[in-house]
A and B are shown apart, each in its own frame.
Chain A
Amino acid sequence: MNRMIGLVVGICIPVFCLANDEVSLDEANVLDFYGDEDFISIAIGEVQPIAKAPAVASVITAAEIKRLGAKDIDQILEVVPGLHVARSAIYDPLYNFRGIHSDFNPQVLVLVNGVPLSNLFHGDRNLVWGGMPVEAISRIEIIRGPGSALYGADAFAGVINIVTKTPKELEKPAAGMSAGSFATRQVWASGAGTSGDLNYSAFIELGKTDGSDASITADGQSFFDFITGTSVSNAPGRVNLSRDNLDLRLQADYKKFILRAGAQIRKNIGDGAGAAQVLNRDNKFESERYNIDFSYLEEEFLPDTSVKFHASYYQTSQQVDGQFVLYPPGSTGPFLTPTGIPIFGIFPDGVIGSPEIFENHSRAGFTAKYDGIRKHDISFGSGYYHGEIDRVTEEKNFGINPVTLLPILPGDPVVDVSDTPFVFLTEDQRENTYIYVQDVWRFANDWELTAGLRYDDYSDFGSTTNPRLALVWSTSYQLTTKFLYGEAFRAPSFAQTRAINNPLILGNLDLKPEEIKSYELAFDYRPSYDITLNMNFFYYDWSDIIQFIPDSSGSTRTAQNAGEQNGKGLEFEAKWTITDSLKFSGNFAWQDSYDELAAADAANSPEKQLYLRTDWQINNRWRINMQANWVMDRNRAADDLRDPVGDYVLFDMNIRNKLSENMEIALIINNLFGEDAFEPSPNAMPSPFIPNDLPLAGRSFLGEIRYKF
């Protein structure tokens, strides 16, 4: 009840207060020639006008990110209609679009400046993700629905493109810091320079946090303690979400060339509720990621033809800091007979397994745009990708000793099985070549048809062709209608194709890519200049879903293209500018997805989600942003006997004060009312290892100061 009062008060206060606009005469004078502040920002090059997309898309700009008080991209993505950020057991984000949920979330393509972050191991952004800070971000473009006809693999359930700030946007040196709950500290600084035609910039962000105060009441070891009579679980205990981050982004623009480079260093990364769903606060991961990309744009390469050449290199690692204890000292580990009898006995040092993976990804290609045919904008491109897991290392104290070929027994020292047939994954590579063409045809006034086709050929699983069609109709002055059809594929990950020596799961080199077909009908309706309404309806059919299916031997499961899911739903979004200083926005998403294999409603994604936000610029100095996010109706898997996952509403507040033209302070409160919020934990047989789900952080405070020199 208190929460609802809080929401009502928070949202209504501004309505009953007259906004104190302090636009000076001079500002009003300038406004006469620009219309509004947003346009001035565009005119002076601070922001780019938002490009149209023949898709259901959202764009979130740096200004909006600041208003939201977001410190990580997950907080931004959560406000997108039809997208919910769930958590894996190690608390990596799972970007669930429209009911599409999986353990590692490879069905979403995340790009930074157009370069994919996808890893080969799981197809995700790296198991040791460690978050992504937001200060260097200029805007985030999110496309719901498939986009393989343009982006290729993994642009499946949705595409998230993160665009970083350019030297022009970073013209003035700036710095900031924040500190608050959970020993969170962050500092950032940016600067830019010019020398003739050369413009360059640097952005560095450093962060350190303990992550969360949430506790896990029972974990996987609690289950084994119950079965085997041991008593070594660390539960109840706090989730392990520490992290130390360094993010560096450099850019140099010279005439038609753009060169970007960066590093994302992750240290002291906690494993959430445990890689084996067993708590151990001493388990820490590390990851080092380096990127460099280059582009060259020739506007008049040929008559009516512009060409952009691009090349990129991205290197990632998933590493362990020290030894990674899967099950704590005194545990029997998961090695039990079907009747629950320990096979090896007690592991005095715990069950240790320290896997490390090193990947690199190289890309080169071009995109050409040709507008020499009346009423047509044709683009086409081609490119090459080479990705490789070039190093896999593993140290462990279970399994087979590669020297003696005998089982490693409890009490034996840790054995390095790297570069032996007993390592968990084979080192391998993948090549991909692609070609695509797209035509935007304005075949009549108010009508535009976008048709695209992309052919991808992979060295390991063959070829795939994916089309898309988008018909956009400017129905009336106020209404635009879009009809969309798209197909997409998701490349099998190396864990699904090349996992070996795992006592539970095995890879399958014969896997095909997952496929999706999607149909959308979208409306953009602007009944007045103050109100924008967007609504869309969608239906998708997701097939050849890769799942680990029990083998006939009974003890292992092998990856198979076994699953199928379809879903339908709608998303509704409203923005209302009440005055220049007071804005309401909100969205509601509903989806109903069905798991054909399980013959049950699809699990883990919210079937309904409601988001409300008010943004009030009280005067030139003060600004308050309040938001509420209500996550509802998350189903359990068909064979999961637990009660449905509880709904939750999280309220956040961001109060900012502009002390001067250069300095700004803010207080950010997340989970204002200390709601007990949970994301679903994975199911398992005979019972889930973490039965009481994955708790989210309680109320947190963060103070921030930023300065522009």
Chain B
Amino acid sequence: MVAMMLVLQPAFSLETTAEKGTPGPRLAVVFPEVRQPFLKVYHTIAEGAAEGFGGPTSQIILDLKKPANDLESRIGNHMVVALGGRGVTQLDPVELAHPLVVGAVSRRIPGVYGMSMVPEESVIVTKLHALAPETGRVFVVVRANDNIIDLKSAQLAFNHLGIQLVIHEAEDLRAAAVIYRKVIRSLGPGDAVWIPSGDRFVGNALLSILLQASWKSEFVVFSSNPTHVKRGALFSVYPDNFQMGVRLGELARKVAEGGQQQAGMEPLQSVFVTLNERTSNHLGILLTDDMKEHIDLVLPAR
């Protein structure tokens, strides 16, 4: 454990709220040193956490390339919100005064409090229903035994809005490609393909085939990756970092005060939506004021 802690170097610590003598729990938001603009993402989450926590909050940036001896003393009895995969895996919850709260990771980690960046399925369905209300059937190809998305709750969420969710499981890329090729031949208006968070099947080649087919057969492709929108998917969700931070801060406060009973990772509730105008024009989607309420960023037609 000591050796593990030695790799942590708090390069930068900033008290953002109130002075050190303030009574009550204090929060440290710990995240790894990354380049801009990635760092800004963590900063924004940390700012949100400070607001959600509502108490003295400091930011500790870890330079993982250097050994560190004093992280433990710096963290002291702070509540810790750890952001990012590396920061989280190198902190040992046993050494901390309070249970660890984890954020900005792509997978649900068992046994800890926190929130992943994977949007909750019901949020995505709501956006789909708002932006492409004609959609009756959604196809998704997922890796067999993958737990990134909760298929059961996804099924419920889609069904709740009268949309049929057809789930295909694939063992590997080759199998996924075969399924995609087969599925897209059968799709038309009223259908949609969902490329979920953490998808590793849809590379450039397959995306190109999928989006060309969607253009031709006029079905919707939606995703959790904004790059897909740039390339012709109708819309994508992406994290609202500040609100994610607020929720993490609230969670940390609750945990510190013993109000949060069971450990567990929440899915992301607060998302933004980006939409491809060229694709929506092609599909004949007329953006009403109600629809525009759901769109945060329009990628203009070229």
Give residues in A with beta carbon < 8 Å to B: 24-27, 29-30, 32-37, 39-44, 46, 49-52, 304, 374-375, 442, 445-446, 448, 472, 474, 476-478, 480, 524, 528-530, 620, 661
Chain A residues whose C-beta falls within 8 Å of the C-beta of B224 in the assembled complex: 33
Chain B residues whose C-beta falls within 8 Å of the C-beta of A26 in the assembled complex: 31-32, 34, 38, 84-87
A39 touches B230 (CB 8 A): yes
Interface string of B215-247 (1 = CB under 8 A from A): 110000000111111111000101101000000
Q: Which B residues between 1 and 58 are near A, CB-CB below 8 angstroms?
A: 31-41, 44
A46→B197 CA distance, assembly (Å): 24
A41→B33 CA distance, assembly (Å): 18
B301 touches A24 (CB 8 A): no
Interface contacts (Cβ under 8 Å), in number, total: 126
From A40, A42, A524, B302 is in contact (CB under 8 Å) with A524
Interface string of B103-133 (1 = CB under 8 A from A): 0111000000000010000000000000000
Q: Which residue of A lies closest to B224 (CB)?
A: A33
From B36, B204, B239, A529 is in contact (CB under 8 Å) with B204
Within the complex, what minimum Cβ distance (angstroms) separates A201 from chain B? 17
Within the complex, what minimum Cβ distance (angstroms) separates B222 from chain A? 14
Within the complex, what minimum Cβ distance (angstroms) separates B242 from chain A? 10
Within the complex, what minimum Cβ distance (angstroms) separates A376 from chain B? 11
A474 touches B278 (CB 8 A): yes
Q: Which residue of B lies closest to A39 (CB)?
A: B226
Decide yes or no whether B283 CB sits under 8 A from chain A.
yes
Within the complex, what minimum Cβ distance (angstroms) separates A436 from chain B? 21
Within the complex, what minimum Cβ distance (angstroms) separates B184 from chain A? 13
Instruction: For the A-B complex with A41-B37, A304-B289, A661-B39 known, give 4 more contacts whose Cβ atoms are closer than 8 Å.
Output: A46-B40, A448-B301, A477-B212, A528-B204
Decide yes or no whether B76 CB sits under 8 A from chain A.
no
B117 touches A33 (CB 8 A): yes
Chain A residues whose C-beta falls within 8 Å of the C-beta of B258 in the assembled complex: none
A358→B198 CA distance, assembly (Å): 62
Chain B residues whose C-beta falls within 8 Å of the C-beta of A29 in the assembled complex: 84-85, 104-106, 117
List 23 contacting pairs A-B, 8 Å CB cutoff, sorted by A.
Answer: A24-B34, A26-B32, A26-B38, A26-B84, A26-B85, A27-B35, A32-B197, A33-B197, A33-B224, A33-B225, A33-B238, A35-B225, A35-B226, A35-B228, A39-B274, A43-B297, A44-B40, A44-B241, A49-B299, A52-B300, A442-B281, A478-B212, A480-B278
B239 touches A33 (CB 8 A): yes
A445→B285 CA distance, assembly (Å): 9
Chain A residues whose C-beta falls within 8 Å of the C-beta of B215 in the assembled complex: 476-477
Decide yes or no whether B284 CB sits under 8 A from chain A.
yes
A528→B208 CA distance, assembly (Å): 8
B204 touches A30 (CB 8 A): no
Within the complex, what minimum Cβ distance (angstroms) separates A82 from chain B? 19
Chain B residues whose C-beta falls within 8 Å of the C-beta of A40 in the assembled complex: 37-38, 40-41
Within the complex, what minimum Cβ distance (angstroms) separates B162 from chain A? 25
A36 touches B238 (CB 8 A): no
A478→B216 CA distance, assembly (Å): 11
A49→B33 CA distance, assembly (Å): 27
Chain B residues whose C-beta falls within 8 Å of the C-beta of A304 in the assembled complex: 289
- Name the interface size band of chain B: 35 or more
B281 touches A474 (CB 8 A): yes
A529→B207 CA distance, assembly (Å): 10
Within the complex, what minimum Cβ distance (angstroms) separates B190 from chain A? 16
Chain B residues whose C-beta falls within 8 Å of the C-beta of A480 in the assembled complex: 278, 301-302
B41 touches A44 (CB 8 A): yes
Chain A residues whose C-beta falls within 8 Å of the C-beta of B229 in the assembled complex: 35
A27→B64 CA distance, assembly (Å): 13
Decide yes or no whether B211 CB sits under 8 A from chain A.
yes
B301 touches A474 (CB 8 A): yes
Q: A39-B226, A474-B278 are in contact. Are A34 and B35 (CB under 8 A)?
A: no
A50 touches B300 (CB 8 A): yes
Q: Which residue of B lies closest to A304 (CB)?
A: B289
Decide yes or no whether B94 CB sits under 8 A from chain A.
no
B208 touches A37 (CB 8 A): no
B198 touches A32 (CB 8 A): yes
Q: Which B residues between 66 and 88 are near A, CB-CB below 8 angstroms?
A: 84-87
B106 touches A35 (CB 8 A): no
B34 touches A43 (CB 8 A): no
Within the complex, what minimum Cβ distance (angstroms) separates A616 from chain B? 17
Chain B residues whose C-beta falls within 8 Å of the C-beta of A375 in the assembled complex: 286
From B32, B236, B282, B283, A24 is in contact (CB under 8 Å) with B32
Q: Which B residues between 234 and 271 are near A, CB-CB below 8 angstroms?
A: 236, 238-239, 241
B106 touches A374 (CB 8 A): no
Chain A residues whose C-beta falls within 8 Å of the C-beta of B302 in the assembled complex: 52, 480, 524
Q: Which residue of B lies closest to A445 (CB)?
A: B284
B86 touches A46 (CB 8 A): no
Q: Which B residues between 200 and 217 are near A, CB-CB below 8 angstroms?
A: 204, 207-208, 211-212, 215-216
A394→B32 CA distance, assembly (Å): 65
Chain B residues whose C-beta falls within 8 Å of the C-beta of A49 in the assembled complex: 297-300
Within the complex, what minimum Cβ distance (angstroms) separates A418 from chain B? 52
Chain B residues whose C-beta falls within 8 Å of the C-beta of A478 in the assembled complex: 212
Q: Which residue of A lies closest to B117 (CB)?
A: A33
The 5 closest A-B pairs by CB, nearest first: A35-B227, A52-B300, A477-B215, A26-B84, A35-B226
Q: A26-B85, A39-B226 are in contact. Are A445 and B197 (CB under 8 A)?
A: no
Chain A residues whose C-beta falls within 8 Å of the C-beta of B284 in the assembled complex: 445
Chain B residues whose C-beta falls within 8 Å of the C-beta of A448 in the assembled complex: 281, 301
Within the complex, what minimum Cβ distance (angstroms) separates B12 from chain A? 10
A480→B226 CA distance, assembly (Å): 21
Q: A35-B230, A474-B282 are in contact. Are A661 and B239 (CB under 8 A)?
A: no
Within the complex, what minimum Cβ distance (angstroms) separates B236 from chain A? 8
Within the complex, what minimum Cβ distance (angstroms) separates B99 from chain A? 22
A474→B281 CA distance, assembly (Å): 9
Q: Which residue of A lies closest to B218 (CB)?
A: A445
A661 touches B198 (CB 8 A): no
Chain B residues whose C-beta falls within 8 Å of the C-beta of A39 in the assembled complex: 226-227, 230, 238, 274
Chain A residues whose C-beta falls within 8 Å of the C-beta of B105 in the assembled complex: 29
B300 touches A51 (CB 8 A): yes
B282 touches A446 (CB 8 A): yes
Chain A residues whose C-beta falls within 8 Å of the C-beta of B39 in the assembled complex: 661
B230 touches A44 (CB 8 A): no
Chain B residues whose C-beta falls within 8 Å of the C-beta of A476 in the assembled complex: 215
Q: Which residue of B lies closest to A478 (CB)?
A: B212
A81→B38 CA distance, assembly (Å): 33
A43→B237 CA distance, assembly (Å): 11
A25 touches B85 (CB 8 A): yes
A341→B104 CA distance, assembly (Å): 85
Q: Which residue of A lies closest to B84 (CB)?
A: A26
A477 touches B211 (CB 8 A): yes
Chain B residues whose C-beta falls within 8 Å of the C-beta of A30 in the assembled complex: 34, 38, 41, 84, 104, 117
From B31, B35, B84, B299, A620 is in contact (CB under 8 Å) with B35
A476→B35 CA distance, assembly (Å): 38
Interface hub of A50, A445, A448 (most chain B Cβ within 10 A): A445
A25 touches B86 (CB 8 A): yes
B208 touches A529 (CB 8 A): yes
A24→B225 CA distance, assembly (Å): 19
Q: Which residue of A lies closest to B225 (CB)?
A: A35
A477→B231 CA distance, assembly (Å): 9
Q: Which residue of A lies closest to B216 (CB)?
A: A477
Within the complex, what minimum Cβ distance (angstroms) separates A621 from chain B? 10
A43 touches B238 (CB 8 A): yes
A41→B227 CA distance, assembly (Å): 13
Chain A residues whose C-beta falls within 8 Å of the C-beta of B85 in the assembled complex: 25-26, 29
